Amino acid sequence: MNLKTVLAVVAGVGFAIPVAAQEREFRLGLITPPVHVWNQEVEALNETLQEESDGRFSIAAFPSGQLGNEATMLQQLQTGALDMAWLTTAEVTTRVPDMAALHAPFLVDNIADAARVLRSEPAREILDGLPRATGTVGVCYAMTGMRQLMTREPVESADDLDGMRFRITPAPAIRTFFEMFGAAPAPMPLTQVYDALANGQIDAIDMDFESIINFRYYEHAPNMMVTNHHMFGMVALVSARVWADLSEEDRTMIGDAIQTHCDRTIDRFVEEEDGKLERLREEDDIEITDDVGPEFFGDIVERWDAEWAEQTPYVARLRELVAEF
Ligand code: BEZ
């Protein structure tokens, strides 16, 4: 007798037998390539989840934007067509303006403080707005490090940035920063950046060490300014529809497993950031300008804060938090 027949018979005689909990493979999308730390931690998450659930749960990862760009993945999560995704905080700002505060320019000046912000109470509160605004549950944050500027041509002063076509991650708060110093922001997904640089469609990029190493952007933009001008966060998301279908116990188990790998991701970035810069120094093709601070950009921090404080109280809250570090 197959399972269907058994269930039909059981239903027919009016009593229930305990049925072993169903096995389930969650589909998880990312824009980053398999070499990226996020993808490595998602692989590790798959192992953790299989162990913790005695094989009931597993994860199939779809890297490199295979399921579409981040905006598309966010829509898929909302409809339940996708179970999970590790998306940039930048993408989520398009639906949750409070999250833009995490992209405040020069909010922190080092990666250890970026980690403290991402683990802070105000940052966690921002996640509370996700179910309503995006149809997702934001389980935890991680990051891909601090962002730097890479240009085709050398830059001597802020005036040189005027009119430069800068690739940015599509997000209004990031656009504001680049517009404020006179650049022409070109929003595009990570997967298109290398070709856009190679074919001259853009002059410069806003990027983190991890991605600069993985994609070798310096082959076409050999001038790197170490600005650390904003932190680049990630949010581990689960479709709210999928979450609602899980038992309380399973939610706790899955949430804890995801949290473990968010934490490991953050720890790895904090530990490895300096080493990545040193690796880049060893490349013959890169000209590195160190320690480019907020003063390089004039009064941009004040102007950015004034504009974004109108959109979200978290700009002031996070600045206050960091002032106490
Ligand atoms: C980006 O859009 O620049 C990006 C996205 C995910 C990871 C790293 C970079």
At 19-69, the pLDDT tens digits run 446 689 999 999 999 999 999 999 999 999 999 999 999 999 999 999 999
**What's the gap in Å between 32 CA and the centre of ligand 1?**
7
Residue 237 sits at φ, ψ, to 5 deg, of -110, 145
Q: Say what the pLDDT of residue 19 is.
A: 43
**What's the gap in Å between 2 CA and the centre of ligand 1?**
48
pLDDT at 137 over 90: yes
DSSP 129: T
Tell me what the mean pLDDT of segment 195-209 comes to.
Answer: 98
| pLDDT per residue as tens digits for the range 95-112 | 999 999 999 999 999 999
Q: Is the CB of 96 under 6 A from ligand 1?
A: no
| pLDDT per residue as tens digits for the range 74-97 | 999 999 999 999 999 999 999 999
Q: Say what the pLDDT of residue 14 is.
A: 37
Cβ neighbours of residue 116 closer than 8 Å, sequence gap 6 or more: 108, 325
| pLDDT per residue as tens digits for the range 238-278 | 999 999 999 999 999 999 999 999 999 999 999 999 999 99
Q: Say what the pLDDT of residue 42 is.
A: 98
Q: Is the CB of 231 under 6 A from ligand 1?
A: no
| pLDDT per residue as tens digits for the range 270-325 | 999 999 999 999 999 899 999 999 999 999 999 999 999 999 999 999 999 999 99
Q: Is the CB of 190 under 6 A from ligand 1?
A: yes
Q: Say what the pLDDT of residue 289 is.
A: 98
Share of the chain above pLDDT 70, in %: 93
Q: Say what the pLDDT of residue 9 is.
A: 37
CA gap 178, 162 in Å, rounded: 10
Tell me what the mean pLDDT of segment 194-212 comes to.
Answer: 98
Q: Report which ligand 1 atom has the smallest distance to the Cα of 207.
A: 3
Going by pLDDT thresholds of 50, 70 and 90, the confidence category of residue 1 is very low
Q: Is the CB of 227 under 6 A from ligand 1?
A: no
CATH number at 3-145+231-274: 3.40.190.170
Map tokens 């005036």 to a residue: 159
Q: What is the pTM (predicted TM-score) of this model? A: 0.92
Q: Report which ligand 1 atom has the smallest distance to the Cα of 189.
A: 2
Q: Say what the pLDDT of residue 21 is.
A: 60
Map tokens 């309503």 to a residue: 132
| pLDDT per residue as tens digits for the range 174-191 | 999 999 999 999 999 999
Q: Which CATH number fits domain 147-230+282-323: 3.40.50.2000, 3.40.190.170, 2.20.25.570, 3.10.110.10?
A: 3.40.190.170
**What's the gap in Å between 53 CA and the centre of ligand 1?**
31
Going by pLDDT thresholds of 50, 70 and 90, the confidence category of residue 163 is very high
DSSP 41: H
Residue from 272, 151, 164 nearest 221 by CA: 151
Tell the burial category of 172 from Cβ atoms under 10 Å away from its Cβ (0-12, 13-18, 19+): middle
Alpha-carbon 28 to chain mean position? 14
**What's the gap in Å between 31 CA and the centre of ligand 1?**
7
Between the alpha carbon of residue 57 and those of residues 53, 136, 247, the distances in Å are: 6, 19, 13
Tell me what the mean pLDDT of segment 156-166 comes to.
Answer: 95
CATH 3.40.190.170-classified regions of the chain: 3-145+231-274, 147-230+282-323
